[in-house]
Structure 1
Amino acid sequence: MRIQLAGGAPVDVIAEYASPFALRVIAMILGIPPADLSDFRGWTDELLAPSSQSASADAVRELHRYICTLVERLRKEKEGSADSFLGGGLVRDADNDPERLSMEELTSAAFLLLFAGYENTIRVIGNGLIAAADETGGLEMLRDALVEGEFPRAVIDELLRYDPPPQLAIRRFTREDVTIGSMGIARGETVMLSWASANRDPLVHSGADQLRLDRCPNPHLTFGHGEHACPGAALARMELNIGLATLFREIPGFRLAAPMSHVWRSSFRNRGVIELPVVMG
């Protein structure tokens, strides 16, 4: 995949690079045909930053219908779909042991892979570039961190910690009345845990509001923790590393076209900018 900067005209790195890159990866994982990618991207964009309540509901229905149809097709074409994670592993397991993976569980797994592997990848690339550009040294600091064409793990983890796209964990519900500090929470209430806040905890991270690409150790919670840790964390780090390193290799010397004037999406689920224009420096 290539991104061209010609004639000094700005190019939106989100629309022209990050989104197509992440979409191709998740398409390979889920076994989505290339012809369906445009519709797939439209549904996910509407779901995460809805233009209206009815449009969001329509996107959920269409995406759910599509994923159910995809799972059924992969079940019928097991030999031809073995290269995809969904078709080669999860669907096959469900056929061998129906009690292990139901249709609902397969659909949930596909949704989880979609948001964890597609949307978050786009936003980490964008948020990471903005975070680096805002620091002293700008993108050169991030560019200089490349070692033999890739980034050390510390760099990727710091970008994930500093400005994570998923600001909140999956919602929890209290099983009994509890008091945290001076706050009383009644039984059955919804509780939202803030990863973004925990990742800036000064008791855990020295200089928590600073971007330090050599931060180590870095016990951030962007991938969860313990038994709730993301099982795809290693794959996510690899994908982010490849995506960012390729961008710097393909267009060395680029800079943000409009620093400090970004328009952020109106979504509390996933933090990211609407667009991110870049130009040659």
Structure 2
Amino acid sequence: MNTASQVALRILQVTDSHLYASQQGQLLGINTQDSLKAVLVAFSQLQQEVDLMLVTGDISQDGTPESYQRFIDSTASFKIPQRWIAGNHDEYALMQQLYKNSPCLNRSFVAENWQVLMLNSNVPGKVYGVLTDDELNYLKQQLDNSAAKYTMVCLHHHTLPVGCQWLDNIGLRNADKFNQLIDQYDQVKLVLCGHIHQELDRNDFHTRYLGSPSTCIQFAKHSDEFKLDSLAPGFRLINLMQNGDVVTSIHRADQFSFQIDETAAGY
């Protein structure tokens, strides 16, 4: 059994909070401020120490400075270092402007045997994602030059199909390029995404692919058309082990009371 001394990095993944400038902002029936709070309470009840809060996009629903400040205020009491990437609802240029001097936008770091890379798949004004040639070149250079034994790559959009036709149509448009690239590097042990508002845990070649519940609405699995799930908001815990293993678990805010808009045809 793995012991704490074998853990290289302990991560709390928080994703797709879809906050608004207003504290009363709702997404398809859920107050996103309240659901984020419920998720953070559920995490605190575990009394689980982590080294990093990894925020994998769609922090904001309306792209306002107030929504990003709302996220900062909501998570400040945990005093956990954060790293952010932009989702399709985020205003990436605004994030860079507001937090250019903050470590939350640092794109790479090394923790013991692990290199962690944060990629930007945001396409302004679009729901789908793309990794530009510059972004793919950045990834390749980082993988070529890293002395770390293992690598985790993080981006908002999913790079493998999840079995929901509508959702797979708005994933990473050039996923083939991305997957072909990382297939060349055995050290890439984990690819982590947001965007899909549901659990994903797949292995492909030497790499494990993980996706996680949103802190607000959940998308129903295996649905060709847009459909919500009644599962509670949640988060993922990830332990990157010194030997290259990944130990992870999903947790949900089951005490959170909410009523989704089951008639919604999109968002």
Q: Determine if the TM-score, normalized by the shorter chain, exceeds 0.5.
A: no
- TM-score (normalizing by structure 1): 0.28
Structure whose residues are more often helix by fraction: 1
Could you say which structure has the larger radius of gyration?
A: 1
